[in-house]
Amino acid sequence: MKALSFHQLTKTYKNGVQALKGIDLTVEEGDFFALLGPNGAGKTTAIGIVTSLVNKTSGKVEVFGHDIDRELAIAKSCIGLVPQEINFNQFETVSTILVNQAGFYGIPRRVALDRLEKYLGALQLWEKRNAVSRTLSGGMKRRLMIARALMHEPRLLILDEPTAGVDIEVRRTMWTFMRDINAAGTTIILTTHYLEEAESLCRHVAIIDKGRIIENDRMSTVLRKLQTEVFVLNLRNPIPAAPVLPGYRLTMPDDHTLEVEVSKEQNLNDIFSRLTAAGIEVLSMRTKTNRLEELFMRLVEQHPSQSNKAAS
């Protein structure tokens, strides 16, 4: 079943900015879906339309088969939203925020208290249940927003930059939690600027730029479209100049580092054999940029701006 579908969705703001220019998109139930794009590409507008925070200009949106024009309340009850900006009442306690949120979705207090314990425990916030929310750290506030979005146990969870400004340890904890939620059957749509996060978590990806979908496929299929990849090799001993390896492009940022561009037809074994023959010993190796980041930049560059104006 389709968890979410857009058909020819458009949004033009009052100031004339065309944030969405007729996008078509489908997210299957159970998927972990990445919606990526540069700032102002239209990601947040699309999410805003699904959650009714933004009124669409035209097009059709369905959530688990419920058209938001005809069955908005049912469609909304299927969605949990973790917005980009902190948007809970900063004067209320963690527990109050969660119980109220459950109430807005018709969950009685008794059930809400059980879920509160479950989700605050899983997100390591149980100790903070009686704390006033403004006293929480940035990472805790982000986790509180995830717990809040789960209080009515939605079938579709939309995470808009959920790990922005969160330290790496907390981010990894949140990744594990998101994977578990998805494995339990919740469809997840994730927007993020950390492309490593999208590559690690998501099975499908759509890239949106200037209000249009420019890529939409399985993550593995999209990544295969990368024609070349740059590897950074750290050398044991300094070398005076980059060796000449026919068929490969090598650069040398410093005397202990080599960067080699490898195409899909080439392989690393061949490079290592040749470097070994040249007496160059490699200590370690890493990719120069995240693969998805590389592809993302190329795709966005291939679709030059038609208008400098775009809204997020």
Partner 1 sequence: MTAPQPVLERSAEARARDEKAALTRTAIVGFTTIVIREFNRIIRIWGQTIVPPAITATLYFVIFGSLIGRRIGDMGGYTYIQYIAPGLIMMSVITNSYGNVVSSFFGAKFGKHIEELLVSPLPNWLIVTGYMVGGIVRGLIVGAVVTTITLLFTHLHVHSVPVVISAVLLSSIVFALAGMINAVFAKNFDQISFIPTFVLTPLTYLGGVFYTIKLLPEWAQGMSYGNPILYMVNAFRYGFLGVSDVDIRFAYTMMIGAAVALFAANVWLLQRGVGTRE
Per CB under 8 A, residues contacting partner 1 are: 13, 48, 51-55, 72-74, 76-77, 79, 81, 83, 85-91, 96, 99-101, 103-108, 148
Q: Using the minimum distance from each CB to partner 1, give the nearer residue, 110 or 286.
A: 110
Q: Using the minimum distance from each CB to partner 1, give the nearer residue, 100 or 173.
A: 100
> Rg of the Cα trace of the chain?
23
Rounded Cα distance between 123 and 128, Å, is 11
What 3-state DSSP class applies to 152? coil
Shortest approach of partner 1 to residue 47 CB, angstroms?
Answer: 10
Q: Using the minimum distance from each CB to partner 1, give the nearer residue, 51 or 186.
A: 51
DSSP symbols for 13-72: -TTS-EEEEEEEEEEETT-EEEEE--TTSSHHHHHHHHTTSS--SEEEEEETTEETTT-H
Shortest approach of partner 1 to residue 108 CB, angstroms?
Answer: 6
DSSP bridge pairs for 162: none
Q: Give the number of other CB atoms < 10 A from CB of residue 267.
A: 11
Shortest approach of partner 1 to residue 69 CB, angstroms?
Answer: 13
Q: Using the minimum distance from each CB to partner 1, give the nearer residue, 51 or 182.
A: 51
Q: Using the minimum distance from each CB to partner 1, give the nearer residue, 149 or 295.
A: 149
3-state helix, strand, coil in the chain (%, to 5): 35, 30, 35
Angle at 57 between CA 56 and CA 58, to 5 degrees: 95
Shortest approach of partner 1 to residue 302 CB, angstroms?
Answer: 30
Angle at 206 between CA 205 and CA 208, to 5 degrees: 145
Rounded Cα distance between 125 and 129, Å, is 7
Q: Using the minimum distance from each CB to partner 1, give the nearer residue, 133 or 192.
A: 133
What 3-state DSSP class applies to 219? helix
Do residues 10 and 22 touch, judged by C-beta distance below 8 A? yes
Shortest approach of partner 1 to residue 29 CB, angstroms?
Answer: 17
Shortest approach of partner 1 to residue 158 CB, angstroms?
Answer: 10
Rounded Cα distance between 220 and 33, Å, is 13
Shortest approach of partner 1 to residue 123 CB, angstroms?
Answer: 18
Rounded Cα distance between 251 and 243, Å, is 9
Q: Using the minimum distance from each CB to partner 1, give the nearer residue, 108 or 253.
A: 108
Shortest approach of partner 1 to residue 53 CB, angstroms?
Answer: 6
Q: Using the minimum distance from each CB to partner 1, give the nearer residue, 79 or 235.
A: 79
Rounded Cα distance between 196 and 96, Å, is 34
Q: Using the minimum distance from each CB to partner 1, give the nearer residue, 49 or 125.
A: 49
